[in-house]
Amino acid sequence: MQSAYEQMMEHVRETGALGHVAQRLGWDQETVMPRGSASQRGDEMAAMETVLHARRGDARLGEWLSEAEADAAVQADPVARANLRHIRRDFDRANKVPQRLAAEIARVTSVSQGVWAEARAKDDFAAFAPTLKEVLALKREEGAALADGGDVYDALLQDYEPGATAEQLTQMFGALRPRLKALIDAVRGAEAPPKVSGTFDEGAQMRLARHVAKTFGYDMSRGRVDKAVHPFSSGSGNDVRITTRTAADDPFNCLYSTIHEVGHASYEQAISQDYLFTPLGQGVSMGVHESQSRIYENQIGRSRAMTGWLFGQMREAFGGFGIDDAETFYRTVNRVHDGYIRTEADELQYNLHVLLRYDLERALIERELEVDTLEEGWNARFEADFGFAVERPSNGVLQDVHWSVGLFGYFPTYSLGNVYAGCLHEALRRDVPDLDARLAVGEVEAATDWLRDNLQRHGGLRPPRETIMHATGTEPDEGPLMRYLETKFSDLYGLSI
């Protein structure tokens, strides 16, 4: 006879496998699906979500959970306890959201994604607004069901960063914001490094991107690199795919989007195979996930040592490209520049883009802002933060896919991931004192092995903050990130801070 815990895990693994199938439908939609298939794909996604929702809220899970939670042998096993924590949370949440609502959210957000893409291409927010209103109404309804009388935004946030609250995040971001603004203002008053110019063959960009992905440890036998409008990583375990994008006049967009997504993908590929299809077999939160993509992209990928190696790879790929030495290349890669697009923002200004979205989406969920005034609110906040006006919706309120697919509560995890990355980088430097010497010759393993051993392989074993504390030995806060940024950009721009 199987124990209650064993029966439960068999059910959960089957649900996990079906969830992977649903993810693959999403990957296909973003990369190769014909445009005319959007409506049908919406119905397919709704059908998959109906099955998944029913399995997550299956009454048998409640019985198995009760028995397993009372089983001393299960409670003595840290892996089993962690599985119970995740399954209980998902079961309780699934039973708070009606199956009808879950299926409708899946259907509407699948179709909405195509509406958003077309509106973005035409710079027409009015064409997207009715669909966004529909998505927002559904997410407010879902949040209210999950909150059960509590804070609606906090309830939605749990899907991306379990245990976090808007109060905690607002306090952290409130401490981050003034120091960021002061540093940005100081940089704007200094002489800027040069910027890259010219035309860079997009096929050569993709070849270099795949080479760099492998250098950073991405296992191409269990993954692939494709192109998409909005780069992303999809999957876990033995099928983890990434996308990037190319622009003929900006090779860094492709290069660093790839490194960023490799950080996400490497996390998923490194998780213990023992956890495959279980709640522990994926990244524990989007904040922790983002810490991996950001430390790969920035603290490692944009370091003086690593860019010295990347400079040589760029010369091999493109020949002479107007930058004559590794130090100038380092300064160019880290150039602070004005821009509208979050995913193209420099390392210093990126968090201001995120905090704008965080404040706006909280206001939307809390009914302090409505879709009809969203574009106006976005543009006013952007000009106040960055000092120049948004001239078209694709550079403003239409630039991100997240709200079209219902990801309310997702945006703050980007800045939280930067905070976590700052903590991890400080600990990495402490534990690997010769890191720069290794990176300078393209040996990234010292960094990626440290991250794999201390964080990635454990998957969802510990709650998010405990995951960072286990890896670093300290409670996470914004201090390490700001010390890193202030040191780096004071050196780059000759500042006295």
Known binding residues for Zn(2+) are 260, 264, 290
DSSP string for residues in 344-369: G--TTTHHHHHHHHHHHHHHHHTTSS
DSSP string for residues in 115-138: HHHHHHHHT-HHHHHHHHHHHHHH
* Crossing angle for the helix pair 78-96 and 38-56, to the nearest 10 degrees: 120
Q: Which of 261, 347, 361, 426 is catalytic?
A: 261
Helix (H) or strand (E) holding 234: strand 233-236
Closest by CA position to 306, among listed 451, 441, 445: 441
User: Could you tell me the end-to-end alpha-carbon distance of the chain, in angstroms, rounded to an integer?
Assistant: 67
* Crossing angle for the helix pair 286-294 and 412-431, to the nearest 10 degrees: 50
- Cα separation of 413 and 464, whole Å? 11
Task: Name every residue whose Cβ is closer than 8 Å to that of residue 177 and which is 6 or more positions away in sequence.
Answer: 352, 355
Known catalytic membership, residue 261: yes
Q: Are 247 and 39 in contact (CB under 8 A)?
A: no
DSSP string for residues in 255-286: HHHHHHHHHHHHHHHHS-GGGTTSTTSS-S-H
- Cα separation of 67 and 74, whole Å? 10
Annotated binding site: 260, 264, 290
Q: Longest Cα pair distance anywhere in the chain, in angstroms?
A: 73
Other beta carbons within 10 angstroms of residue 321's beta carbon come to: 17
Two tokens, residue 402: 């997240």
What does the DSSP 8-state code read for residue 444?
-
| DSSP three-state, residue 227 | strand
Q: Which residues are catalytic?
A: 261
